Structure 1
Amino acid sequence: MKNALKILIVLVVLLAVIALPLLTSYNSLVAAEETVNSAWSQVENQLQRRTDLIPNLVNTVKGYASHEETVFTEVTKAREKLIAAGTVAEKAEADQELSSAVSRLLAIAENYPELKADANFRQLADELAGTENRIATARMDYNNAVQAYNTKIRKFPTVIIAKIFGFEPKEYFKAEENANKVPTVDFGNANE
């Protein structure tokens, strides 16, 4: 009887020694994944803030530069693409297109001194600039969380737990390859 009790105690201790690291590894993976999800939520929150600001900015500029229809159309299409994007890669691509279109929209203001002086336009442009900064920060926080998570699921012995429980690598929020190129702004008929 005493031997059976000793064997049972040894088995329980061995099981605890094996199970405890498994549990802590699993729990740390769950926490890391939730950090990634939370950071992504902040990126989406800021992107939504920008998409909410854009129609007001477009309408303000339209009042001064109604003949710039192609820029307004580009902004609208890029905004719709961002709203419809589902994956991180799609959001990144749509974000780049929207940023480029908004840059062209803001460049139009340079040809319209009365637009630049408009208080509503200035406020919207300031809010948009602040939002762009928030988006950049949120993207950086998201990519940092993804980096920590992806590193964690690749390290031994956590990689075993990650594989068993289906923890997959997360996608980074990447700019398009040509994101470092300055967009071309054509004022063509701006003064007609």
Structure 2
Amino acid sequence: MDLGKLADVQMGYPFRSRLEHDPQGDVAVIQMKDIDDVNLVHTDEAIKVTLPRGKEHHLLRAGDLLFRSRGRSNGAALVSGDVGTAVLSAPLLLIRPHGVLPDYLCWFINTPATQAQLAALSEGTSVRMISAEALKALDIPLPTAAAQQRIAQAAALAERERSLMAQIAAQRQRLTTHILMLYAHHIPKKAHP
């Protein structure tokens, strides 16, 4: 089923001028730099602004997906409940699911096969971009809600395993380096003539 039938897709908030941090601002502005390589949203260093009155419908909600419409990666990040009061900045696209489980949709968009399909849809020469219309036309397989839930849970567990394995590898490397450094400092020194 087309994504446009399962979710609202729209461009992030179009700020009319250069973003300036407002120390009194109460709304975090999520930009490309605030989404990391594993599609997690970080608002701790986001620019703060005061959103004009009447624009509250642009505020992010838990379950929204933030889509990188341009750049080397066109992944989606799932908004969790701890993002706080935030708005998405253009050129990022906001995907607000209403006919599909957000976790499942996020997983599906980020799979290698879907990423390859999205790369084929991108337009432009120097900066490749995926339009909201092209994204709306993306075909999404729609299993039952229970199956979507199981797929999303399995994907989350696989990601957790990948993260733990990376942490284990980093700790093993630190331990090996530490042991070798101890050994290097305690082996007998070669006698000089």
Which TM-score bucket, shorter chain as reference? under 0.3
Higher Cα radius of gyration: 1
The structure carrying a bigger strand percent of its residues is: 2
TM-score normalised to the size of structure 1? 0.27
Q: Which structure shows the higher helix fraction? A: 1
TM-score (norm 2): 0.27
